[in-house]
Every structure is written in C-alpha cells, then in structure tokens.
C-alpha cells in the first residue's frame, strides 16, 4: 500500500497529492496521512466522491491515517 504523506500541508495540497496518486493505475490501495481535521474530512469526501472505499480511519499522535481502496 502506497503512503501519501500530507502532513503540514495547507489546502489544496493534501488532496492534490492524493488525487495524483489515485490517478496512478498501479495504486489499488492508498494510505493518506494528514495532521488536521479539515484535511481528514477533505480526504474522506474526495475518496467517496471518486468511488473509492474507506477501509480504515485511525488517529495517532495528532496524525490521521486514512486508508482507501479502489
């Protein structure tokens, strides 16, 4: 599973990074790491909008990890 590290990035960079990895056909599953709730919500909303399934959301040390699957 490829990890997209979007810690410390402001809008719209986390989603730009995530979308560019989603476009790569090799990536069937992705883990996106962000450090704020706004970015977490945006990741979930965008993934759902592009019909990817959210398989795990976890929080650790003020970081959010969202795992998504095509």
Partner 1 sequence: MRLEEFLLFYQNNLQKKKGIKMRNLIGNVFATRKGIIISGAIIGVLAAVLQKLGNPGNMGICVACFTRDIAGALGLHRAAVVQYMRPEIIGLIIGATIASFSFGEFKSRSGSSPIFKFFLGAFAVVGALVFLGCPWRTLLRIAGGDLNAWIGLAGLVAGIFIGTTIFSMGFNPGVAKKTHKVLGLLFPFATFALLIGMFLMPQIAGEEKSGLFYYSLKGPGAMHAPLIASVLIGLVVGFIVQRSRFCTIGGFRDLILFKQMHLLYGAIAFIIVVLIANLCFGQFKLGFENQPAAHTVAIWNFLGMVLAGLCFTLGGGCPGRQCVLAGEGDGDSAVFVIGMLFGAAIAHNWGLAATPKGVGINGQIAVVAGIITVMVIGYFMRDRD
* b (16+ CB within 10 A) / e for 49-60: eeebeeeeeeee
| Binding of partner 1 by 19 (CB under 8 A) | yes
| Binding of partner 1 by 1 (CB under 8 A) | no
Q: Rounded to whole angstroms, how far apart are CA atoms 70 and 59? A: 22
Number of residues that bind partner 1 (CB under 8 A): 27
Handedness of CA 18, 19, 23, 29 (dihedral sign): positive
Scan residues 30-69 and list those touching partner 1 (CB under 8 A). 35-38, 41, 44-46, 48-49, 53-57, 59, 62
List interacting residues with partner 1 (CB under 8 A): 7-13, 15-16, 19, 35-38, 41, 44-46, 48-49, 53-57, 59, 62
């Amino acid at each position: 599973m490829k990890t997209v590290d979007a810690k410390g990035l402001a809008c719209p960079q986390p989603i730009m990074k995530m979308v560019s990895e989603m476009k790569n056909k090799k990536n069937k599953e992705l883990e996106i790491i962000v450090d704020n709730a706004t970015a977490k919500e945006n990741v979930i909303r965008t993934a759902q909008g592009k019909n990817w399934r959210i398989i795990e959301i976890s929080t650790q040390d003020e970081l959010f990890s969202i795992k998504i699957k095509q």
